Amino acid sequence: MARFRSGRAQMIDARKLYEIDGPFAFWRGGELSAVTLAYETWGALNPARDNAVLVFTGLSPSAHAAASSADPSRGWWGDMIGAGAPIDTNEFFVICVNSLGSCFGSTGPASVNPATGEPYRLDFPELALEDSAAAGARLLDHLGIDRLKCVVGPSMGGMTALAFCLMFPARSTALVSISSAFSADPFAIALRSLQREIVRADPLWIHGDYSSDAAPATGMRLARKLGMISYRSAAEWRKRFGRTRKVSGEHAQFTIEFEIESYLEAHSQKWIGSFDPNCYLYLSRAMDWFDAADHGPGIDAAMTRIALERALVVGVESDILFPPQRQRELALRLHAVGCGVDYNELASIQGHDSFLVDFDRFGPLMREFFEGLAGDVA
């Protein structure tokens, strides 16, 4: 593991870039003349071109979901994708795309507008997850893939994957939706709305016009802490940290005293240099906006667009951001429109982030589902 991490430090980069041909029209209006998508692939497309799996990511990750020869660093889903892994690259051609609007190679608010030579910043069109889904479909065109074996998404990626199935029903046989929902709850909107307000309240945000060497780091750091509070669970932290202090007996009124405070500080410090604040604001709001019901009108009409044969829907008991009731609803609605659904509610204690860390529970589930799909591969 340490060896792989040092591989990342060498800035090896397996990203492929696809420049979308012609202007890209946004779901809510506006268009850009030039849009780039960053993606990575693992395994090989078979001659029938029918063994492809497309992964849409959560808000934070890049397209580097797993190690490859070009970039041996572990990737954010390193245990899940690979030769012999649950999403087995001996069977499947796996594609992971950096979301439109993000800042790891795909075009977003931090990208340079060719018309001005300056970053788009807040001139970037309003972003919807439907735009990320449509961009994914354009990438499939480019790769010569008519129909996916499966589209996969955890968290925000699950919403994007569902948008993809609603907009392009003929383009995937199966869906894996993990810790996601067909629309965000007001509790999740409240958390994200506050995170964004914390970023915007940083005097260095300057209505999006911060310079790259003076970004609103305090706002981003505090927003990330709130993110982590919503991504994990009280039960996990009780077990990991309890009331342990950094220094025994210390009482720090205005600085870090408890291990839990130190943990949040360390993780949020790591994040602030890596993610562009305006990209964060756009992607975060896109999650609030997403509502499958917009494809109806109404959720009932929307779901009749779905033409999936199979779906795996997974929720986690301790997830407060996308509570398991939301996955249950999605599973029932998929079942009601004729899709064969595996639904699982896991007892992981790591909350919304469980899919990133609880491989013991997620691995076997994913393996079984993908083995079932592999049986269909020519």
Active site residues: 155, 319, 352
Smaller CB separation from a copy of itself, 204 or 365: 204
Answer for the pair 272, 224: CB distance below 8 angstroms, yes or no. Answer: yes
- Rounded to whole angstroms, the Cα distance separating 50 from 37 reads 22
Residues in CB range of 116: below 8 A, 6 or more apart: none
Residues in CB range of 157: below 8 A, 6 or more apart: 55, 56, 57, 58, 99, 178, 180
| Interaction between residue 201 and a copy of itself (CB under 8 A) | yes
Among 13, 50, 79, 261, binds a copy of itself (CB under 8 A): 261
Smaller CB separation from a copy of itself, 241 or 271: 241
CB of 70 to a copy of itself, least distance (A): 36
| Interaction between residue 32 and a copy of itself (CB under 8 A) | no
CB of 2 to a copy of itself, least distance (A): 27
Map the footprint of a copy of itself across residues 121-180, applying CB under 8 A.
122, 126
- Tokens representing 208 are 């999006």
- Rounded to whole angstroms, the Cα distance separating 352 from 108 reads 25
Smaller CB separation from a copy of itself, 229 or 365: 229
| Interaction between residue 254 and a copy of itself (CB under 8 A) | yes
Among 1, 212, 243, 297, binds a copy of itself (CB under 8 A): 243
Give the interface with a copy of itself as residue ranges (CB under 8 A): 28, 122, 126, 183-191, 193-194, 196-198, 200-203, 218-219, 222, 225-226, 229, 233-234, 237-238, 240-243, 251, 253-254, 257-261, 264, 281-282, 285, 288-289, 291, 320, 323
